[in-house]
Amino acid sequence: MERYTEIRWHGRAQQGVVTAAKLLGEAALREGKYVQAFPDFGPERMGAPVRAFNRLSTEPIRLHCGVKNPDVVIIVDPTLIAGGGVSQSPLLDGMKEDTVFIVNTPKGAAGMRGALGLKNGEGKVYTVDASRISLEKIGRHLPNTAMLGALAKVTNVVEMSALIENFKENYSKKFSPKVVEGNIGAMEKGSQDVKGE
């Protein structure tokens, strides 16, 4: 039976959530994995809550349905957690006992557990201030690459080196050297700063 790592990204349109899933897919493919990266399209408006998904495996992936029981949930926009237009349930939807939550927030992981509505022993919570990192490193609010760095640190789904090399190799044409460096810096800083409970 094939085994997958399934990841669900939560953010808002224009925050690079779909791009993050794409970058992760490309980097994992670079490591020789089989990948899927796909968005969950709703109304395409700036600021609308969006989701994106990854499925990563060492075997060819034949599933073509949405991710129902994510191994990792990445919350790129903390305003989605409470009062941000989305009730809490979509974030915890289909979670397993050991689902890993990585949240973009300056707050600590223990506090986030309560905010997410997770009981003790349910899931594992990590936090990283990806918004601040992106402002420092890239000069714009694009928290996705810092979140990727955090993901590489707290899980073994992808190596930092694959994320960085993929970005260098494939986005140097599209972006200026400064932007490429900034994003790589954000990945590294995200990896260093992420903290669990």
Partner 1 sequence: MEPATKTKKQVGLTGNSAVAYAMKQIDPDVCAAYPITPSTQIVEDFSSYYADGKVGTELITVESEHSAMSACIGAAAAGARVMTTTSSQGLALMWEMLYVASGLRLPVVMTVVNRALSAPISIQCDHSDSMGARDSGWIQIYSETVQEAYDNLFQALRVAEDARVLTPAMVCMDGFITSHAIENIALLDDSEVKDFIGEYRPKRSLLDVDNPITLGAMTLQDSYMDFKHEQSKAIAGAKAVVAEVGKEFGERFGRSYGLMECYRLEDAEAVVIVLNSAAGTTKVAIDRLRDKGTKVGLLKPRLFRPFPHEEIASALAGTKAVCVLDRADSMSGFGGPLFSEVRSALYGRKGCPPVIGRIFGLGGRDYTVEHAFGVFGELYDILEKGKVEKPFGYLKP
Q: Is 1 in the site for partner 1 (CB under 8 A)?
A: yes
Q: What backbone torsions phi and psi does residue 99 show, to the nearest 5 degrees?
A: -60, 135
Q: Are strands 34-40 and 49-57 parallel, antiparallel or unpaired?
A: antiparallel
Distance CA(175)–CA(194), nearest Å, equals: 26
Piece of the chain touching partner 1 by CB under 8 A; list 35-43, 92-100, 133-141, 185-193 = 35-43
* One of 14, 34, 79, 88 touching partner 1 (CB under 8 A): 34
Distance CA(52)–CA(43), nearest Å, equals: 14
Distance CA(93)–CA(90), nearest Å, equals: 5
Piece of the chain touching partner 1 by CB under 8 A; list 85-93, 98-106, 117-125, 164-172 = 164-172
User: By rule CB under 8 A, what string of x and - marks binding of each residue 39-78 to partner 1?
Assistant: x-x------------------xxxxxxx-x----------
Distance CA(73)–CA(84), nearest Å, equals: 17
* One of 8, 10, 22, 137 touching partner 1 (CB under 8 A): 22
With CB under 8 A as the rule, give the number of residues binding partner 1: 29
Q: Are strands 100-104 and 124-128 parallel, antiparallel or unpaired?
A: parallel
Residues forming contacts to partner 1 in the complex (CB under 8 A) are 1-2, 21-22, 25-27, 29-32, 34-39, 41, 60-66, 68, 166, 169-170
